[in-house]
Structure 1
């Protein structure tokens, strides 16, 4: 099974001060997809520069030709499906059908309260996520003149028109981030790919073997969710966003270390590994030369 390498470029640099160059370099290095986070700010970057995902990806689409682009991930925290669908269709058009929507339930950080709403309970977050994905699916698929009308508990639409629809048919692909049963059922029903970061409970004190076992369990539950609706889980791409597993500190130390890590996760059925573009003085600090060596040489070693 082939294993693709992708990257995620955080939107913390001005476009003319390193932002554009990173996206263009990612394409030169041969990455399959370059993603960015879709947040209003994020953790240790909260008090520094941070730019919007949609404008950044639009600019990236204009300065690249082959590499796919995407969010990793969008959540309902500050987005409504109706206006967001229009932006997604525009991104898909500008990129020439190179866009993938990574989508997840979101968390309880800054994005969850910046609009002065009360933090949602886990159940409400899951309910919103389900409705968000369901309505986005309709908005991006049903592009006729009659529009989409919908009345849900959290979101509504009245004759929302999205002509001419997506370049990619029947719509642009969804990469659904999920580890719990409800999210995995959404991935099984609506996803063209499934995304995980591993088990967050193992982040601080877990071992590599514990992480492998936890991720294997997640993949098995995804397969069960697919089987419930008569879908073969082998038809979904499986994406690991790296940098959050217990062995994250060794991941980009050398080409050999990465190839070992990648091989063990390929055996779990993963089709794509996503590496954070190095950022000095952050959790994603790494040697740029080693990072680029991995991007260019690891694919051949992994077959």
Structure 2
């Protein structure tokens, strides 16, 4: 009988200890990735997540939401939005840096000459859209990211130690569909969008001119979101772009939103902070969305300090993205 009681007591203590730690990493990652989550796609969140284990033991109990992770509460004022539409898209290669081509505000490449540094060519032949399997041809080089002539981007190393994440290459990571974060795209709650996916892959880019500092916060990122089939991806694409609406615009009063390119499978949104007092907004963001097969590719550039031009060759940039997005299936050309 004493043995049974001791055993029961030990089991209860183990269970209590486990539950006290559950919310720590999720809560820490959320708090630590407000503005900077999109910044280097959590490339510095690994340490924050580890430091906060146990420090937030009661967080889940105190916070409602998905998987115990509280969502960012945004202010509810009212904004101005300008919406104009233009065309869109060409391709390129892998996640490692390639020789840079000095371009003035635009990047171009040709779908027929788009080899991956890993030896794969971008042909549009569908590859199994598995978020745990890396196709290196799907990733833009740092020189193919928007505004490379301004920032001279360099690929960030994949982080380690982020709960639920897996390292797929030196620069690309897998993350699960229940990954907790406060922000992803400028408009929309990331939780219901990610819940539609079966996981995703991500890589980040840091500027070298000027180098990233506390006073020069400029960031670029590429995501690929995976879905069970093309129909689910199409539905999620429609949902995601539908978040760019009057509700979002009025949330960030004074910010200016402009759709600079759009089609049934591609879109580009420009956001300028303007007179908005929201601390969650960068001064400037340019976001590219592309549906291909059973995946959605998302590329964005944020600047908290630079005055970047409102006009940019989005058609060429989308063509470049298309040449990589098709590595997981779908067309390598603008649609």
Greater Rg over alpha carbons, structure: 2
| Larger RCO, structures 1/2 (Cα 8 Å, 6+ apart) | 2
Please indicate, yes or no, whether the TM-score normalized by the shorter chain is above 0.5: no
Shorter-normalised TM-score: what interval?
under 0.3
TM-score when normalising by structure 2: 0.25
